[in-house]
Amino acid sequence: MNGTGFTLTNLTKVYSSNKRDVLALDDISIAVPQGSFTALLGPSGCGKSTILRILADLEPYSSGSVTIHDETPENIRKAHRLGLALQDPSLLPWRSVRDNIRLPGQVMRAPIPKKRVDELIRLVGLDGFADAKPAQLSGGMRQRVAIARAIVAEPEILLLDEPFGALDEITRQRMNEELQKLWSATSATALLVTHSIAEAAFLADRVIVMSPRPGRIVGDVMVDFARPRRRELLSSGEFHALCDELSALLHSGGDDDLVSDGELITEPAGV
Amino acid sequence: MTAATQHAPNSQTRTAAQASTIAAARSQARSEARRSTMNGWLTTLLVSLLLIAIWEVAADLALTRLGVMASPSAIIQSIAANPSLYFNAVSATAWVAMRGWFYGNLAAIFVAVVFVQLRAFESLFLRLALALFCLPLVAVNPLLQVTFDSDTAKVVLAALSVFFVTLVGTMLGLRSADGSPMTMVKAWGGRSLDSLWFVRLPSGIPAILTGLQIGAAAATLGAIFGEFIGAKAGIGVLLINGLMSLDLGRVWAVAVLATLMAAIPYGLFGLLRRWLTPWSAGISSAAAVSSGPRRSFAARSGRAFAYTVGSIVVILLAWYAYLAVFHLTPFVGKTPVDVFTYLVTSPTAAAKRSVIFEALGVTLVHSGIGYIAGLVIGVATAVAFVLFPVSERVFTPLAVALRSVPIIVLTPVLILALGRGLWGVVAIAAIVTFFPTLANTQAGLKRVPADAFTLMRSYDSSRMSTLWRLQLPYTLPSIFASARIAAPTAVLASTLAEWLATGDGLGHVIVNSRAHADYTGLWAAAAILTAVSLIFYSLVSWAERVVLARYAPSYNS
């Protein structure tokens, strides 16, 4: 773990329409070390997905600067050094599990050896499903495929936008443990966007808490539980204390239930 | 699956019992499924046989004598008496239809890919493609005949009749996977061609196959209609001959053969689609509609105005380009200026105008009444199917079969049945509107979420109340989609009937102008017919937007 992973410096993002301008991100500065695992925690509409999309070079920003491993997001994306998993597993329904995992290599014109694909299928626990089509899989299994696909090309930065957001709580915890295992085997700098306090606390080295309208950082908490973290951690006193601290931070920025109401601070649809 | 085997020692017997229970339930479910499929087929078969029997009896007793309908046996006799005549006609028409189908679909798929990949092209030229769709074949046919040799003209006509439907379907299909899979490809550093190759083309295959399927019937229609002018062989020639000599057996034999020509490839491509793209049910196509940011009323009106002006300019340029590219002599190829002179500034303009606008009025009455009747009856029939499920089981196969009957053969048949007056034409316009409306409304009614039904049931909602409060609002998008597509078809159908039979309306003006070598009149009538068709289409899509903004806002966000 040496060198910088990604840095955001005075990052500001304004969505402009004819009627009004909406400040989605207000002066965000974050720097994380290479190979670390960071979680962005916040309610809907706080701009956390926008940050992820800016890092993935999928969206422009208004001012400030962004670097990943001292390069621009555009260079990283074009050099195929980026792994991405979204809440929608976005598997192609006509491709088998194996062909879905192979897809990034085909797009990048750097074919991935069959051995590597099969190894990942085994690692994510999908033995015997290599030739199954997405429609034959459960939601959890589809998301495993999406995670395998995100890391198959050995990316330097792994961006995860609520990948388990649509799963039930029990499956979700199991997926978190597997994600930790998979990520530990890589050297990637990871960023997880989530609105689950427990998920952020369980997975991350550092949790950055955000509040909406405008999106800004209200807390930055280091998490130093030893790895690998196990399920028992969830029932420990330290873990509960950490969750309480994060919860307090989340509610510090004005506690109201009108988050998605009124102002047009919404994360772009289809993420 | 494994849970049962991991149980305590005594689970051995229980597992066996469970297995036999499961096996019994499974075989029962299978045989039930098989029986219900069999029942469905049996019902269809019985109903069809019954209808054929009724047809035979009714024709023998009265309808043949009245000059309306040939009996099935008479049709078979007519074909058996002269098989080579029919065989040659079918193969001549099929050859034209196949080439038209091939080139039309090829062009449509190519243009769809270009439009989807390069948005700028889409906003400029989609209007032109829409104008091609609204271009009534009745108006185009004589223009193509003066432009190309007879064979090419027929092929072009067949290609034109498949182009727009495949274009729109393919565009929707290519965009159906837009969203997160496209984001992924971009994140992997993929270029726009990569998203086309890995995501858009494969996800567009079901829609492309649907286009090929629907195009089969449309190409047959175009090919037959092309034969109405100056052809020596083909189904269309036989049809005209039969109609002229009031040879009932021949007209009906041609109708049956043309229907088979349309229906057989339709069925084959349907099977091919299910076999090649079993995943297609999993792709939602509702997300394809995108909308820009919401603008103020003034801005929207300004944009609409700019688009309209732009479209008119593009269409006029295309008109000039057509004349220049195909080297039409000034005698047959008339420019927009010629038409303007003909209708507005020349000394005889007032007389010409009154002829054309009177004919236009007649055509509007024909297509308007038929269109509205077709819509109302189509929606009402779909609703009746929901209220009385038995009727749906009995009539849906019949409706599907009748839908693939090309309007070109319906026209003479209906004219024989209903006469050459107003009602024959109206019935034809109504029928071409009825079938797509029925099919789309049925499909729309089935898309209501199951949970919404559960909710209504928890309120003990009556069937009518569920229909009114839940099902119909959910179906509005489908109803409007078919209403929009049917608008130009209704105009086409009524002008076709006018051309063939009634001796009034714009269809007849076109026949007349051609007969008298009044080429300016021909171009003028074609231009006005296209304009009317476009306006009709735009009015319906405007109504669609207004209604859907209220009832289906999720379709726009």
Q: Which fold does the domain B72-290 belong to in CATH? A: MetI-like fold (1.10.3720)
Q: What is residue A117's predicted lDDT score, i.e. its pLDDT?
A: 93
Nearest-by-Cβ selection for B198 from A78, A103, A153: A103
Span A9-54, pLDDT tens digits: 999 998 877 667 788 898 999 999 999 999 999 998 888 999 999 9
Structure tokens at B361: 């009025």
Residue A152's closest chain B neighbor by CA? B188
Look up the CATH architecture of domain B339-557. Answer: Orthogonal Bundle (1.10)
Angstrom distances, CA of residue B98 to CA of B90, B156, B218: 12, 11, 11
Nearest to A6 by CA among A227, A206, A183: A206
Q: What is residue A269's predicted lDDT score, i.e. its pLDDT?
A: 40
Higher pLDDT pick, A39 / A91:
A39
| Structure-token match 């024709």, residue found | B59
Cβ of A88 within 8 Å of Cβ of B180? The answer is yes
Question: What is the number of CB-based contacts under 8 A between chain A and chain B?
Answer: 77
CA angle B262, B265, B266 (to 5 degrees): 75
Cβ of A108 within 8 Å of Cβ of B557? The answer is no
Residue B283's closest chain A neighbor by CA? A93
Cβ of B198 within 8 Å of Cβ of A107? The answer is yes
Helix, strand, coil fractions of chain B, as percent rounded to 5: 85, 0, 15
- Give the global pTM: 0.76
> Which of the residues B186, B188, B193, B556 would you substitute to probe the A interface, choosing the one with the greatest number of A C-beta atoms within 10 Å?
B188
Q: What is residue A267's predicted lDDT score, i.e. its pLDDT?
A: 42
Residues B150, B141 contacting (CB under 8 angstroms):
no
Q: What is residue A71's DSSP assignment?
A: B
Cβ of A90 within 8 Å of Cβ of B184? The answer is yes
Q: Which residues of B touch A79 (CB under 8 A)?
A: 189
Nearest to B222 by CA among B403, B498, B408, B414: B408
Residue B448's identity, in one-letter code, is: V
Cβ of A153 within 8 Å of Cβ of B296? The answer is no
B84 touches chain A (CB under 8 A): no
| pLDDT of residue A271 exceeding 50 | no
Q: Using DSSP, state whether B517 is helix, strand or coil.
A: coil
CA distance A217 to chain B (A): 26
Span B518-527, pLDDT tens digits: 888 888 988 8
List chain B residues with pLDDT less than 70.
1-14, 279-301, 303-304, 397, 401, 403-404, 552-557
Q: What proportion of chain A, given as a percentage, has pLDDT over 70?
A: 92
Span B113-159, pLDDT tens digits: 998 888 777 777 777 777 777 777 888 888 888 888 888 999 999 99
Q: What is residue B199's predicted lDDT score, i.e. its pLDDT?
A: 86
CA distance A162 to A271: 10
Residues B479, B437 contacting (CB under 8 angstroms):
yes
Cβ of B179 within 8 Å of Cβ of A82? The answer is no
Q: What is residue A264's predicted lDDT score, i.e. its pLDDT?
A: 45
Strand (E) or helix (H) holding B529: helix B519-551
Nearest-by-Cβ selection for A107 from B194, B203, B296: B194
A170 touches chain B (CB under 8 A): no
CA distance A99 to B202: 13
B468 touches chain A (CB under 8 A): no
- CB crowding A147-165: b at 16 or more within 10 Å, else e: bbbbbbbebbbbbbbbbbb
C-beta atoms surrounding A22 within 10 Å: 16
Q: Which residues of B touch A269 (CB under 8 A)?
A: 557
Which of residues 86 through 125 in chain A touch B, CB cutoff 8 A? Answer: 86, 88, 90-94, 103-104, 106-108
Q: Using DSSP, state whether B289 is helix, strand or coil.
A: coil
CA distance A269 to A267: 6
Cβ of A56 within 8 Å of Cβ of B277? The answer is no
Q: Using DSSP, state whether A28 is helix, strand or coil.
A: strand
Q: Using DSSP, state whether A209 is helix, strand or coil.
A: strand
CA distance B281 to chain A (A): 10
CA distance A114 to B198: 19
Give the list of residues 6+ apart from residue B424 with CB closer than 8 angstroms, or none.
B414, B415, B417, B418, B497, B501, B502
CA distance A146 to B282: 18
Q: Which residues of B touch A188 (CB under 8 A)?
A: none
In degrees and rounded to multiples of 5, residue B99 shows phi and psi of -65, -45
Domains and CATH numbers, chain A: 4-81+155-252 (3.40.50.300)
Nearest-by-Cβ selection for A104 from B188, B283, B296: B188
